[in-house]
Amino acid sequence: MVVESPASDKLRNVGSKAGKQNVKLYYKKDMKAKKLIRNLLIIMILISNISCDQISKNIVRQKIEYNTQINIISKYLILTKVENTGAFLGLGESIPRPIYILLMIVLPLIVIGYALYYLMKRNNVSKLLIIGISFAVGGGLGNILDRILYGSVTDFLYFDFVLFHTGIVNIADISVTIGFFMIMIEFYINRRELISPAANNG
């Protein structure tokens, strides 16, 4: 029978503590790396959305006359140019300027700021929700930038999907719409996951 000395117990405890510390350190480094990659992905999506939106609007402003109609795909996709001083699809065009600044610039920036804070700080956000919120934020920033610089938003795309058609929109509006549907899909998936265990237990 082998009897271990107190010194052996101390060495084992030290080794065990060192092992736990190494695991914690590795976990922290791994989480930081994942968070860095996620934040870079968010920034890339934002830059891509805003760049595509602003470049397309600048081209339209320079090359296309107001209310021109250019059929890209027959009557199903039409290129034109209008200035929208309101929100999505021209809502709120006739409101006074101070209220316009509050509703169309300040409040959206607050919402966007909170959305970005949520994305950057939370660790358990799904990839679908990250991409969806990033698309919505990127599109929102694109239109807010127009309102700040020009006092209006340039819209230039009209879609006819036979069963329904859009108003005249821009790339930022499309980004917001894509982001919205991604967020709704994520909520639907989470709702199904919450309902399924409850149904099985019942």
Kindly list the catalytic residues. Answer: 155, 173
Q: Say how far apart CA 124 and CA 19 lie, in whole Å.
A: 26
Contact yes or no for 172/143 (Cβ under 8 A)? yes
Q: What is the 3-state secondary structure (H, E, C) of 53-87?
A: HHHHHHHHHHHCCCCCCEEEECCCEEEEEEEECCC
Residue pointed to by tokens 């009897």: 3
Contact yes or no for 45/138 (Cβ under 8 A)? yes
Q: Say how far apart CA 67 and CA 80 lie, in whole Å.
A: 6
Q: Tokens in use for 164? A: 């329904």
